[in-house]
């Protein structure tokens, strides 16, 4: 603010008072730093050369899923040899172990059919796996019905397979397995129903009596076959893991070497807030 007084010769007369706001350029630069406005800048993000967008080997993970190591070979990675080596070894080992398991399975079923089941008349159809496991543990199956005619009379010899099933049924449904309830009671009918579901039928009866050596051979053969089946399952798991690992490896390599072209047309918003210097 500047006050000016105008004096007339001899008479001090106040002509006027002028009020003005004046800021010189030097004072402006010295005392009031210039604050530029907010700057909004947009730029296109370029992560990869657009000329190579069509050359991205997106099919490499699919190739590794089909054949481990193939995707790595397409990408030029030396890891392809490792995946191929694991695949070949696991595949050969799986086939060898499964073949041995199937040969053992045929062999112990033959022993059971020609020895343990030979003394019983009728056809000798193959049973489920649990059936042959029971033959491995028990010397005899026992009778399915002790007394022909009428209702089923379960086997009571607990050293036989059917006898053990009848004992399990009594333990499950009877309050005292040694004291039978009335035959028309719910507990008795439930026990008989369980026995009928699990007991060995007459056409599947067996007996290893007077054939101890053959029974030992049967146990050895079935144990060997079971171990071979377990090793085959292990090799199958290795094969599956090798496929998945090779696929993940190829996918990660493609993502690292060839960033996704989806980001090439994206806009970046950059906002700058200036702050005056001290």
Distance CA 249, CA 73 (A): 12
Please state, in angstroms and rounded to a whole number, the distance separating the CA atoms of residues 153 and 156.
9
- List C-alpha distances in Å: 224 to 97, 102, 275: 10, 10, 81
b/e string for 245-271 if b means 16 or more Cβ within 10 A? ebbebbbebbeeebeebeeeeeeeeee
What is the mean pLDDT of the segment spanning 242-268?
Answer: 78
Mean pLDDT on 149-157: 90
Name the pLDDT band for 55 (thresholds 50, 70, 90).
Answer: confident
pLDDT top residue among 49 and 103: 103
Per residue in 21-31, pLDDT tens? 344 444 444 44
Hey, how many other C-beta atoms are within 10 angstroms of the C-beta on 105?
19
Q: How confident is the model at residue 125 (pLDDT cuts 50, 70, 90)?
A: confident
Give pLDDT tens digits for 181-238: 999 999 999 999 999 999 999 999 999 999 999 999 999 999 999 999 999 999 999 9
If pLDDT is split at 50, 70 and 90, which confidence band does 75 have?
very high
Residues in the chain: 278
């Amino acid at each position: 603010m500047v006050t000016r007084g105008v004096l007339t010769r001899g008479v001090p007369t106040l002509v006027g008072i002028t009020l003005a706001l004046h800021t010189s350029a030097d004072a402006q630069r010295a005392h009031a730093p210039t604050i530029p406005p907010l700057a909004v800048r947009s730029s296109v993000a370029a992560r990869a050369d657009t000329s190579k967008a069509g050359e991205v080997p997106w099919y490499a993970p699919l190739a590794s899923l089909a054949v481990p190591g193939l995707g790595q070979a397409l990408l030029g990675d030396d890891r392809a040899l490792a995946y191929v080596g694991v695949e070949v070894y696991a595949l050969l080992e799986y086939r060898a172990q499964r073949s041995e398991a199937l040969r053992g399975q045929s062999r112990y079923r033959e022993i059971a059919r020609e020895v343990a089941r030979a003394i019983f008349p009728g056809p000798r159809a193959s049973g489920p796996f649990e059936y042959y496991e029971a033959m491995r543990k028990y010397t005899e199956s026992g009778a399915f019905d002790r007394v022909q005619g009428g209702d089923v009379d379960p086997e009571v010899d607990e050293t036989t397979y059917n006898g053990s099933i009848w004992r399990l049924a009594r333990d499950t449904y009877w309050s005292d397995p040694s004291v039978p309830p009335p035959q028309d009671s719910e507990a008795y009918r439930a026990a008989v129903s369980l026995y009928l579901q699990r007991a060995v039928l007459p056409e599947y009866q067996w007996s290893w009596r007077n054939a101890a050596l053959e029974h030992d051979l049967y146990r050895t053969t079935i144990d060997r076959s079971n171990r071979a089946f377990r090793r085959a399952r292990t090799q199958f798991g290795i094969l599956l893991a090798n496929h998945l690992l090779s696929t993940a490896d190829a996918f990660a390599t493609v993502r690292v070497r060839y960033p996704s072209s989806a980001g090439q047309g994206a806009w970046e918003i950059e906002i700058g807030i200036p702050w005056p210097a001290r």
